[in-house]
Structure formats: C-alpha cells, structure tokens
Copies of this chain bind each other. A is one copy, B any other.
C-alpha cells in the first residue's frame, strides 16, 4: 500500500579507501567500507537534534518510511515519523546498516577489491566495537559531533551500550531496549546452533558459495527458525497457533523467506560479534559508565525470555554504580523479544516522555515498573 508520502531512499557513504583502511579491533585493516544509511526529518543548524537508531540482528538501514514499490514500511516505522516516539518534526533520525551486514554496508558478500570476488569467509573478523566505530565515521561525515540520543533494541541495544562506553562525550541520551551487556551461555548457545546449521549445509562450501549456483538455504532457514522461536514467547505462540497445528508451516515459511533477504556468512559474522561482546570488558561493571553524563532509559519486556529483564537490570545497576541518571521500565507484554518491534504504543509513551525531559533538562524520571 503506497501512501501519498515522499519515498525514502537509502544513501551510501564510502570511506577508508586504501591505503587509509579502517583499523579493526583485531588490528586487521579493511577498506574501502561502504555504509548504507537513511535519514528522516531535518537536522537543525548545529545538527544537535540527531538521533541515531541502531538495528537488530536481521535489520537494516531502512528503519522508517516507504521505499518506492515496497509492500511494507521500514522495520521501526511505528516508532519513527512525525508525532511518533522518534518525532521527525523535532529530530533528525539516522539509521545505518551494520558492518558485516548484507543490506548495503560492506560485509562478507561484498566484493573484495583486492580479488574482484566476494570476501566470503576471507572477510576479517569484526566486533560490535567495529560496527559502532564505523557508525562514528558516518556521523563525522554527516557533520554530527554529538548525538541528542542513540537508541536500539536487541543487538541495537548492545550497540547503544558500546556508544556509551566508547564515545561517552558524544551522546546526550541513550535508549537501551531488550538487550544485555554480555550474552548469556543460553543466548550464545542458540546462536551457535544456528551457525552449526549453516555450516552443516553442504551448499555453504566453507563460506565460498557466492560463485556457485546455490546458497546454504536449508541451513540458513533452520538457523532462522530457531531464532524465530526465541523471539516469540510461549504465550504468544499459543495465542497465534492455538492448540491446533500451523506452527510447523509458519516456521518453514519464515525460514525460507529469510534466505531471500539475508546472507548466511553475515549470519555467522554478526552472531559471532554479538556473542563475544561484553560492555564491561574495558573497565568492569563498576566503572563502565564513569564520567558518562548522558541520561539513560532502559526498557525490557516481561515475556522476553531471550533477553530477560535481569540483563536489563544489570545495565541499570552499572548506571547507578557511577551515578548515571538512569530510568528503567519493564513493559508488560506477551510478545516476547519481538515486543521491541511490536509494542509501539507502550514504548512511544515512555520514549517520547524521556526525550522531552532530556530536551528540557529535567532528570530522574521514575516510571512504575
């Protein structure tokens, strides 16, 4: 359904051209790097009204609005737009595809200029820190010195944490949704099974499938099916499928359609990056947010068993340890982890109030949990 609105277009920024490659956390170099990004709303004169939105594992730069010909809008369209949580009448919103991704930003499926062929598993190991460092480069290019806010859920929330740890002086406020400072063994385990499913697929060809006529479709589909179960709750599945069947064909469909829009090697690289991330690694939980002056809103969802609330509370604890002005709310939802994508109204209420108070300088908002 196309509306009579102006369509959004993905833009691209390429940097780190050899010999000035981008230095990854491992010390390896990568370049050139192209970043796919979109913007919504208008920057003010000082570009001080920018909100950076960070996408989750399978997301992309297309967070809001419509691409010409699309059947659905961007993945967080319910949250970004005029009068919405991230109000584009007030804020300049930026979202970019992560490093290692497959939606326009350089990743394993990109052509390696040195060989003229796709990187495959020749793509260097990347970290969540690298993803955020690349976002910093994009913002510098866009002339944005300090973010009014930075927000994201799930893997997006991990990146928000990294922004606070790596660039505390460049963030005025942060919204951290349904995430963890470090993945639990259970979270790592689910991702590991997905990785094993992909690598078990003979069409994976040790990551070198771009030259072949096939992709590791079955393995990637299995990986996605596992993900889907963890994104929903026991209750939301029962609500959707009742006591009858239908869940098998639904999962199979979700698995297959994912193959059309996601690259198996990106799955491997990105899940490894989020599994090895630990926001407390640098200075420990007690000092991670030392000297941070940003105001922080932490949100979790009651039925989210993939990123349970205790992980969000650990982030709140880290804030409190160093006197960071943090507000926490556990939102009552039955949608499981998917709630950060589906519960627009409940999040909007909390986020728009939070951003208003950051704007006006009021602090220490406390919501009923």
List A residues at the B interface (Cβ < 8 Å).
Answer: 182, 184-186, 188-190, 192-193, 196-197, 200-202, 218-219, 221-222, 225-226, 228-229, 232, 234, 237-238, 240-243, 245-248, 251-252, 255, 278, 305, 308
Nearest opposing residue in chain B for A197, CB measure: B222
Task: Report if A222-B225 is in contact (Cβ < 8 Å); known contacts: A186-B234, A234-B184, A237-B185.
Answer: no
Excluding A189-B237, A200-B221, 4 further A-B contacts by CB distance (< 8 Å) are: A185-B238, A189-B225, A193-B229, A200-B201
Interface centre among A185, A190, A218 (most CB of B within 10 A): A185
Residues of B close to A228: CB separation below 8 A: 189
Interface centre among A197, A245, A248 (most CB of B within 10 A): A197
In the assembly, how many copies of this chain are there?
2
Could you jot down 27 A-B contacts, CB within 8 Å? Answer: A182-B243, A184-B234, A185-B237, A185-B241, A185-B246, A186-B238, A188-B245, A188-B247, A188-B248, A189-B229, A192-B247, A192-B251, A192-B252, A193-B222, A193-B225, A193-B229, A196-B225, A196-B251, A197-B200, A200-B200, A200-B201, A200-B218, A200-B219, A200-B221, A222-B222, A226-B226, A243-B278
Bound form: Cα–Cα A222–B191 in Å? 12
Chain A contact residues: helix, strand, loop or mixed: helix
Bound form: Cα–Cα A229–B197 in Å? 15
Interface centre among A192, A237, A255, A305 (most CB of B within 10 A): A192
Nearest opposing residue in chain B for A228, CB measure: B189
Do the beta carbons of B192 and A234 come within 8 Å of each other? no
Task: Report if A222-B196 is in contact (Cβ < 8 Å); known contacts: A186-B234, A240-B185, A241-B185.
Answer: yes
Min CB gap A274→B, angstroms: 14
